[in-house]
Structure 1
């Protein structure tokens, strides 16, 4: 397990719907921007992503895949000029999987058979939206630019997704579950390809994963966050001295190893606390604290609120909204990545 694995584990669809559309110019799809992430992929033809707010339109070629970070409205159109017109635009309320929103004409999802309706359309596009909340999901969003594009030569996941989806029996009772997991897989593949690209500008801990000293320590901490780690035991994971580990870790990650560990534990605790069935004492045990009192003191010191206040706030937040919390201080720790 590594930090990116932990972030991508937050990408979970529930009732996921992934819409395939065949469109004839002029065409445009207007998204209301409620989704946390939206994925767009032209399978035939090309399109333009128009976001407004002073951002220039971004061209998306056939076979490329774009992941747009929400919230914020945008238009996916055949031409930037089309996006500004009110007539050929189809509005899509991208409330995300499980939402009751529908675009004009047909539901977003169900992998509509538009190809049979208009086989000669100028463009065939796949679009899908995610709405998710929680601390881990917000950290993932904080690492992404407004638009992340993965070129065709790096991403074959869309075509593999279509192939696998075509093999599904439409009458199977578990078909929706399989579609959810396929969509998760498609988005995770795209995000992993993005983080490996030079323009991604990944955080310090991501770059440090390849280091012979820091990499094993990061993986150990994420694999067993509840273990009673000390600087000595972490140094043993890397087979180096405590002094060597402390110096190298700070150089590459921007903070001491035990500070990173504390922040990671609080990140896990934030997500666990959003489940009312898990007691504070159980959360404390799972993130490496011997008692709830010590855990509560550490959580309030690092997060700015008590565990009970955090839980109460989570219970009143709308689904998919970001947690209201104080960002972590110091370095490029895993919690210092707000979207």
Structure 2
């Protein structure tokens, strides 16, 4: 069990909507904050990305990738502060440009990821608002950026499949690179590399429904019960069984939002002996019984889908 892989799989970050764009100066594109994670890379030329906040401008050049976490709007253009169009108007203005006709044109890729549930939200919350990674930072990242750049400047059979896979790789490498070097990486990520805690954490994530006890987890870690509880609290900021309960509740919320499992099946999946025990634990954590919580969340999701159009769907 690899904890980062487990989070990515549960977050269902497996598909991207993307667009390859060629634009002649002057150009600018506004992208709304409803996209949970945007990925931008320049294949040829250069551009700039900025938020509404002062001092947020970053340069986009070949060989680098910039990720933007959802929330505020962001903008990309030929120069900082350029006039930016909405996606539909931008596409209409730049749709007919051939990159071979104008060496001054910028060729760039915009990708958009949607994550699922609280596991995905937890991954995103651990990332900075804007993160730029250079191919020089990581050999694997450089290889993927090189392949992506080559694929984007030509038209080949099955190109969509190749680009989908490369974007998935790019996302995983970017998150892994940031977590490896960031002081704000999730505690579970740092603790998973601790030889005293890694095995116990992997066990809890791999089989959350198991009736784990502190002595059992301590034995997996090769520590005494007291030493394990102390080291775990220092690393994770909470007691082992509190961490386990919160992880079970996270999984339960994602099941209730996305699956058609009955409450009894959800209870069994997250380690409660009966739907009554699960309902009581869920109510303690959320103030509502799981059935009512599920109805409210799904109604809110239906309303959101009806009233909002994902900006990347138009790319």
- In which range does the TM-score fall when normalised by the shorter chain? 0.7 to 0.9
The one of 258, 263, 270 aligned to 1:275: 258
Instruction: Give distance in 1, aligned partners of 2:60 and 2:294.
Output: 41
How far off is 1:159 after superposition? 2.6
The answer for the alignment partner of 1:91 in structure 2 is 86
**Any unmatched runs of 5+ in structure 1?**
93-101, 322-339
1:196 alignment partner, SS class: helix
Pair 168,50 (structure 1): closer, same or farther in 2 beyond 3 Å: closer
How far off is 1:78 after superposition? 2.2
The answer for the alignment partner of 1:160 in structure 2 is 147
The one of 175, 182, 203 aligned to 1:191: 175
Instruction: Give distance in 1, aligned partners of 2:258 and 2:225.
Output: 37
For residues 152-206 of structure 1, what are the alpha-carbon distances to aligned partners after superposition, in whole Å with 9 as ceiling and x for unaligned? 2132223334557789964x6xx766654443332222221221224x5212222
For residues 233-268 of structure 1, what are the alpha-carbon distances to aligned partners after superposition, in whole Å with 9 as ceiling and x for unaligned? 111211111111101101111111111011001101
Instruction: Give distance in 2, aligned partners of 1:19 and 1:45.
Output: 17
How far off is 1:77 after superposition? 1.6
The answer for the alignment partner of 2:197 in structure 1 is 214
How far off is 1:113 after superposition? 9.1
* C-alpha contact (below 8 Å) 2:204/2:244 kept by paired residues: yes
The answer for the alignment partner of 1:314 in structure 2 is 297
Aligned length: 299
* C-alpha contact (below 8 Å) 2:49/2:59 kept by paired residues: yes
How far off is 1:231 after superposition? 0.7
The answer for the alignment partner of 2:27 in structure 1 is 27
CA RMSD of aligned residues (A): 2.9
Instruction: Give distance in 1, aligned partners of 2:291 and 2:52.
Output: 40
Report 1:118-157 matches (<5 A).
118=101, 120-154=103-137, 155-156=141-142, 157=144
The answer for the alignment partner of 1:60 in structure 2 is 60
Instruction: Give distance in 2, aligned partners of 1:12 and 1:45.
Output: 29
TM-score when scaled to structure 1?
0.78
The answer for the alignment partner of 1:242 in structure 2 is 225
Q: Which has the higher helix share?
A: 2
Pair 76,301 (structure 1): closer, same or farther in 2 beyond 3 Å: same
* C-alpha contact (below 8 Å) 1:2/1:222 kept by paired residues: no
Instruction: Give distance in 1, aligned partners of 2:25 and 2:163.
Output: 30
* C-alpha contact (below 8 Å) 1:11/1:188 kept by paired residues: no
Pair 90,299 (structure 1): closer, same or farther in 2 beyond 3 Å: same
How far off is 1:79 after superposition? 1.5
Report 1:168-183 matches (<5 A).
170=157, 180-183=164-167
Pair 20,118 (structure 1): closer, same or farther in 2 beyond 3 Å: farther
Report 1:73-112 matches (<5 A).
73-82=73-82, 85=83, 89-92=84-87, 102=88, 104-105=90-91
Report 1:5-24 matches (<5 A).
5-9=5-9, 10-14=11-15, 16-24=16-24
Instruction: Give distance in 2, aligned partners of 1:232 and 1:25.
Output: 65
The answer for the alignment partner of 2:51 in structure 1 is 51
Instruction: Give distance in 2, aligned partners of 1:77 and 1:317.
Output: 34
**Any unmatched runs of 5+ in structure 2?**
305-315
Instruction: Give distance in 2, aligned partners of 1:27 and 1:90.
Output: 8
